[in-house]
Amino acid sequence: MATIDLTYQECLDLLRSERVGRIGVIVEDQPLIFPVNYRVIEDIDGATIPRLVWVALRTRAGNVIDRSPMFVAFEIDHFDHAQRLGWSVLLSGTLQPVDDAAAEFAGRFDPGPWLDDRDRWLAIEPTRVTGRRIVGDDAEWAFSTAAYL
């Protein structure tokens, strides 16, 4: 088994492929992690390759995420337990409130929260995006006795 670093573009592709991630915040000197629905906001800005601008999420007004400090971490991942393979994308950045009426934000970037009472809009502006993939060794031949031991 080995890990390989993902490129920025691979991280962006994986961020686009998921809808649920985890936000990490510090509250009263304690790290807390919460699952959230999210949506990637991209900017092409004349370039042929889009770049990540923000990760949008909705939460309940006044809850722990809404009251958290400005600096946060956000992570998504996927694992195949049987094959012992997987990947992880981690970004760190600043959490900022968003006016959902600004630039049709709600219509264009709604992350579709699973719970109805999430009416506070926030966005993470990443300052760092990294990712890793866990890759396995070459697979054993399917009929090898070692494959069944």
pLDDT cut 90: percent of the chain above it: 43
Look up the CATH number of the domain holding residue 82. 2.30.110.10
Show Cβ contacts of residue 45 under 8 Å, excluding neighbours closer than 6 positions: 51
Give 1's pLDDT tier (boundaries 50, 70, 90). confident
6-52: per-residue pLDDT in tens?
999 999 999 999 999 999 999 889 999 999 999 898 876 656 666 77
Domain count of the fold of the chain: 1
d(CA 71, CA 89) in angstroms, rounded, equals 17
Per-residue pLDDT at 14: 96
Range scoring the smallest mean pLDDT among 18-27, 81-90, 96-105, 110-119: 110-119
Range of the domain at 121: 2-148
Residue with tokens 């573009």: 9
Q: Which residues of 76-108 are buried (b: 16+ CB within 10 A; e: fewer)?
A: bbeeeeeeeeebbbbbbbebeebebeeeebbee
- The helix (run of H) or strand (run of E) holding residue 12 is helix 8-17
| This model's pTM is above 0.75 | yes
